[in-house]
């Protein structure tokens, strides 16, 4: 039985569409990644599945159960870790987990066992008896994940579960999620960390403006992008104007199909070329002769960010960078 089925989901907030037409299927034991820029409709989709929003159109099923008709039954078989952490600050971590164990009608023994397992997995033992109000953001997030996993749900909805986690905990969560496959648990995961989706997801849907733009395994999506990739890394502290001039120069080269400036990687120029051998042999001397401070040139496979760029017209990493810049500017203005 399909673990999650979404058929032509539509959801508006007032007159504004959040999800326009979204269909997907997740099988038991599969990790399914939802990738999309801010406002694409990822959280809205999860909230509709979690019975927290009423869809305006389309149908959803969790473990074969209609979300519209049997919301209570659906809630019993899914775990939802929301993007925003909302916990009762006057409880301790252990008390919150006990509350969740009660909500899901776990027996005392089972509840105690599962709570202990979650406290260990997310390394929360030393915080278990402290008030949640005193936790740091990362610890709250860990507790949130522990609550979502506690009742051993068949279907897990994880909305950016590892934001704010340190790298060690993130790796542990990844290992744990991978382990869920063999238990037949289905996971729907959103993340802005492309690496996370690449490492974990069996299938990926790239969504933008409430629609699925591309769908498949990470490898299928990368193959579909086609073309060989070359990265021209410029020397550290290369001014933006010089890097931009590099784009103009490269656009005039016959074997270069596409040039993108990747500002998150110290002004690297990412190229799609028709002939990597030619590119590797000729580009360095050409760009240096034109006065561009080239640090290195290397060949690479398409990444999920390349897929994202081709499908949505923007790089996910650049979109995030722009977001950071806008936030910084807004702060300065205050
Ligand atoms: N409660 C709400 N009321 C009004 N509009 C909303 C509400 N929640 C979401 N939206 C709008 O719906 C659209 C989709 O939002 P959603 O939160 O699903 O995006 P997302 O893909 O999860 O984005 P992000 O990556 O930023 O988390 C956005 O335009 C957003 O502004
Ligand atoms: Mg979201």
Instruction: Give the distance (Å) from ligand 2 centre to CA of residue 45.
Output: 9
Same domain, 133 and 237: no
- The confidence score (pLDDT) of residue 99 equals 93
Same domain, 111 and 251: no
- Nearest Cα to 318, choosing from 165, 159, 194, 163? 194
49: left (phi over 0), alpha (psi -120 to 50) or beta: alpha
How does pLDDT run across 11-46, given as a tens digit for each residue?
A: 999 999 999 999 999 999 999 999 998 999 999 999
98/299: higher pLDDT: 98
* The ligand 1 atom nearest the CA atom of 44: 18
Residue 308 lies in a domain: no
Same domain, 218 and 254: no
List of E strands, 113-237: 155-159, 186-190, 203-208, 211-216, 228-234
Instruction: Give the distance (Å) from ligand 2 centre to CA of residue 159.
Output: 7
Strand partners, 234: 294
52/83: higher pLDDT: 52
Strands of 4-13's sheet in order across: 65-66, 57-62, 4-13, 16-26, 211-216, 203-208, 31-35, 186-190, 155-159, 78-81
Name the residue of 44, 189, 208, 209 to mutate for ligand 1: max ligand atoms within 8 A of Cβ: 44
* Residue 131 confidence (pLDDT) above 90: yes
Residue 169 lies in a domain: yes
Nearest protein CA to atom 6 of ligand 1, as residue: 13
By residue range, what is the domain housing residue 216? 4-222
Same domain, 125 and 235: no
Q: Which of 197, 222, 247 is the last residue of a domain?
A: 222
146 lines ligand 1 (CB under 6 A): no
pLDDT-based confidence at residue 334 (cuts at 50, 70, 90)? very low
Residue 12 lies in a domain: yes
Nearest protein CA to atom 1 of ligand 1, as residue: 13
Residue 81 CA to residue 107 CA, distance in Å, equals: 22
CA dihedral over 79, 84, 88, 91, signed as positive or negative: positive
Domain total in the chain: 2
Residues near 313 by beta carbon (within 8 Å), at least 6 away in sequence: none
43/169: higher pLDDT: 43
- Helix, strand, coil fractions of the chain, as percent rounded to 5: 45, 25, 30
Nearest protein CA to atom 28 of ligand 1, as residue: 39
Q: Which of 173, 199, 222 is the last residue of a domain?
A: 222
CATH code for position 107: 3.40.50.300
Instruction: Give the distance (Å) from ligand 2 centre to CA of residue 40.
Output: 8
Strands 211-216 and 203-208: antiparallel
56/219: higher pLDDT: 56
CATH code for position 233: 3.30.70.920
- The confidence score (pLDDT) of residue 328 equals 43
Residues near 98 by beta carbon (within 8 Å), at least 6 away in sequence: 111, 115
299 lines ligand 1 (CB under 6 A): no
- The confidence score (pLDDT) of residue 163 equals 86
Same domain, 151 and 188: yes
Q: Which residues fall inside 5 Å of ion ligand 2, going by CB?
A: 42-43, 83
218 lines ligand 1 (CB under 6 A): no
List the structure tokens of 274.
């028709």
Nearest protein CA to atom 25 of ligand 1, as residue: 38
Residue 33 CA to residue 193 CA, distance in Å, equals: 11
Using a pLDDT cut of 70, give the percent of the chain over it.
93
Same domain, 131 and 238: no
Same domain, 217 and 232: no
Mean pLDDT of the chain: 88
Same domain, 132 and 43: yes
Nearest protein CA to atom 15 of ligand 1, as residue: 39
Same domain, 11 and 128: yes
Residue 309 lies in a domain: no
* The ligand 1 atom nearest the CA atom of 83: 27
Answer whether 0.75 is exceeded by the pTM: yes
Same domain, 87 and 236: no
41 lines ligand 1 (CB under 6 A): yes
Same domain, 161 and 241: no
pLDDT-based confidence at residue 324 (cuts at 50, 70, 90)? very low
Residue 140 lies in a domain: yes
Residue 326 lies in a domain: no
Residue 98 CA to residue 34 CA, distance in Å, equals: 31
Residue 306 lies in a domain: no
* Residue 317 confidence (pLDDT) above 80: no
Q: Which of 187, 222, 257 is the last residue of a domain?
A: 222
Same domain, 42 and 183: yes
- The confidence score (pLDDT) of residue 89 equals 79
How does pLDDT run across 89-104, given as a tens digit for each residue?
A: 789 999 999 999 998 8
- The confidence score (pLDDT) of residue 319 equals 55
Q: What's the whole-number mean pLDDT along residues 283-293? A: 91
Number of Cα atoms under 13 Å in the Cβ half of residue 217:
5
């Amino acid at each position: 039985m399909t673990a999650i089925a979404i058929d032509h989901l539509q959801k508006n907030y007032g007159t504004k569409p959040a999800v326009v037409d979204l269909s997907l299927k997740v099988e038991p034991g599969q990790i399914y990644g939802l990738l999309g820029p801010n406002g694409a409709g990822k959280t809205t989709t999860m909230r509709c599945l979690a019975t927290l929003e009423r869809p305006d159109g389309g149908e959803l099923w969790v473990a074969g159960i209609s979300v519209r008709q049997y919301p209570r039954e659906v809630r019993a078989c899914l775990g939802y870790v929301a993007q925003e952490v909302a916990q009762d600050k006057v409880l301790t971590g252990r008390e919150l987990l006990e509350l969740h164990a009660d909500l899901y009608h776990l027996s005392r023994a089972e509840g105690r066992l599962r709570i202990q397992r979650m406290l260990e997995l997310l390394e929360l033992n030393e915080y278990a008896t402290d008030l949640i109000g005193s936790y740091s953001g990362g610890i709250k997030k860990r507790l949130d994940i522990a609550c979502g996993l506690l009742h051993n749900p068949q279907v897990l909805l994880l909305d950016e579960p590892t934001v704010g986690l340190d790298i060690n905990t993130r790796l542990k969560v990844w290992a744990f999620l991978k382990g869920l496959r063999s238990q037949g648990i289905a996971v729907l995961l959103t993340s802005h960390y492309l690496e996370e989706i690449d490492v974990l997801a069996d299938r990926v849907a790239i969504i933008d403006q409430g629609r699925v733009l591309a769908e498949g395994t990470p490898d299928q999506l990368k193959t579909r992008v086609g073309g060989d990739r070359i990265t021209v890394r410029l020397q550290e502290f290369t001014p933006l104007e010089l890097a931009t001039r590099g784009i103009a120069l490269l656009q005039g080269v016959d074997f270069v199909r596409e040039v993108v400036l990747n500002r998150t990687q110290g002004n690297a120029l990412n190229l799609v070329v028709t002939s990597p051998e030619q590119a590797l042999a000729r580009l360095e001397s050409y760009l240096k002769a034109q006065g561009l401070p080239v640090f290195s040139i290397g060949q690479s496979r398409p990444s999920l960010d390349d897929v994202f760029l081709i499908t949505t017209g923007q790089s996910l990493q650049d979109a995030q960078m722009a977001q950071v810049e806008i936030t910084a500017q807004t702060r300065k203005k205050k």
